[in-house]
Amino acid sequence: MKIYIDTFGCTFNQADSQIMAGLLTNNDRTLTDSPDDADVIIMNTCYVKHPTEQKVLNNIRKMKKQFPEKKLIITGCMVEIDPTKLEKAAPDASWIGPHKIQSTPSIVESVLEGKIIRSTGYSNESKVCLPKIRSNPLIHIIQICEGCDGACTYCCTRFARGPLQSYPSTMIKKEAEQAISEGCCEIQLTAQDSAAYGKDTGESLPSLMNKIADINGDFRIRVGMMHPKSMLGDVEGIINAFKRDKLYKFLHIPIQSGSNIVLNEMNRCHTVEEFKTIISRFKEEIPEISISTDIIVGYPTEDDEAFSDTIKLINEIKPDLIHISKYMHRPGTTSSNLEEIGYETMKKRSKELTNLKSDISLEKNLELVGTQQHVLITGKGSKGGYVGRTNSYKTVIIESAEIGTFLDVIITGAKSTYLIGVIEQ
C-alpha cells in the first residue's frame, strides 16, 4: 500500500506533513511522490487566505474526479475551520485535525479497511521529537509551539490551531541536536507566533534561541514569524539572541497596516510607533538585519488615508521583503461581518504596494552588489545553478557549488527577489 501526501501552506504545515510521513514510514507504510501510484491520498490543507481555499477545493475536486477509487484523507486547517464546506466537497473523505496527526497511521489503517474516520479537536500532545521525513535533507523544521494568544479580527487560523501551547525547550534542543548529527545545516524554528513561545510555560524565545545556538556544529538557525505585541516585553533579549553567530539575521515581523486606527480595529494589540521602535532597535544593534513584514491590503475599514499611512510606513522602514495579501472574509472571523471594500479600490491599492515592494527589494539587493557574503548552499535552483542563503537570509544563486557547504561569495548582480554571486577565488 502506498501513500501520497500533498501539502499546502506554511512552514508549520510542511512540518505536520513531514511528521505524518515519518510516522507512516515507521509503521511500515510506503510513501510515493505521485498520486497515480497511491492507494491513499492525504491532502494537508491551508485555509488562511481565500485564494488558497479555492486552490485547496479545486485540488480536492480534481483528486476525486481523477482518482475516484482511491481513499482520500483531508488534514490541516480546513478540517477545523470549515467542516461544512469540506463535507460538501468530499462527503466520503476521512479527516485528521491539526492536533490529531499522531493518529495518522491508525487512521490510514482504518481507511484502508473501508471506514470513514474523522478525528478532530484540540490536544495537548507535543509535536517535538516525532519522526520526520524531510523534504530537504539539509533543512530541519521544528515546531516550537502551536496556536497563539492573540485574537486578530481577520484570522481564521487560530480556530484550527487553538490557544498557545509551547513545547519544552529541552525536547526542542534534543530534536535539533539529532537533526544536526544527521547532517542538517539549517534549523528552522516555526510557530504561528514564535515570540509568544513560553508565555504559557514560563520559558522564553531568547532562552530557546541561545540553547539551540549552543549546540556544537556549523549550522544556521532561522526563527519564524514574530507578532510585534509578543516581542514588546523583551525586545532587547531577542536582539541579543539574534546576535549569536548561528542565527540568521532575519526578522519576520508583520505590521499588517500602517494606520493605528486600522491596527486597533484589527485587534492587533500594538501600535505603528511600537513596531517602528522594534525595527529601529534591531537596525541599531544588528545593521545587516533583513526585515520581512506582512501587509493586508483593503481591510474593510481601511480608507484612503489609512492606506496612505501604510505606504508612508513602508517607504520609511524599507523592508527587504513584503508579503502582501488582499483582504477577503474568512469563516468565523469578526471582520467578516463588515462590508468589503470595492474591487477596483482593492486592485489599485494592491498594485501600488506591489510596485513599491519590488522597487524597495531591488534597491536593498543592489546595495549588496560588490560585497562578500558568507553563504550556506541549501539546494539546486529550479532554473539551474545552486541556491544559497547569506547570513541575512538573502537568496543567492551561484553557478556551481556543493550542497550543504558554506562558501565565501562575491555578489555580482541583483534582482528584486534574489542575488547573483560567484565563489571568491
State the pLDDT confidence band at 238, using cuts at 50, 70 and 90: very high
Hey, do 2-119 and 372-423 end up sharing a CATH topology, with the first three levels equal? no
**All 3 cell numbers of residue 22?**
515519518
Has domain 139-366 been given CATH number 3.40.190.290?
Answer: no
Averaged over 280-309, what is the pLDDT?
98
Has domain 2-119 been given CATH number 3.40.50.12160?
Answer: yes
pLDDT tens for 301-324 read 999 999 999 999 999 999 999 999
Averaged over 192-213, what is the pLDDT?
98
Q: What would the CATH number be for the domain defined by 372-423?
A: 2.40.50.140
Q: For residue 259, what pLDDT is reported?
A: 98
Q: For residue 120, what pLDDT is reported?
A: 95
pLDDT above 80 (res 425) = no
pLDDT above 90 (res 288) = yes
pLDDT tens for 240-282 read 999 999 999 999 999 999 999 999 999 999 999 999 999 999 9
**All 3 cell numbers of residue 359?**
522597487
Q: For residue 336, what pLDDT is reported?
A: 96
Nearby residues of 25 by Cβ (< 8 Å), 6 or more positions away? 31, 131, 133
pLDDT above 90 (res 138) = yes
Ordered by start, the domain boundaries in the chain are 2-119, 139-366, 372-423
Averaged over 323-337, what is the pLDDT?
96
Alpha-carbon dihedral angle through residues 127, 214, 220, 237, given to the nearest 10 degrees? 90
> How much is the pTM?
0.96
The Cα–Cα gap between 149 and 76 comes to 20
Which residue from 256, 226, 255, 258 is spatially nearest to 242, judged by alpha carbons? 226
DSSP state letter for 327: -
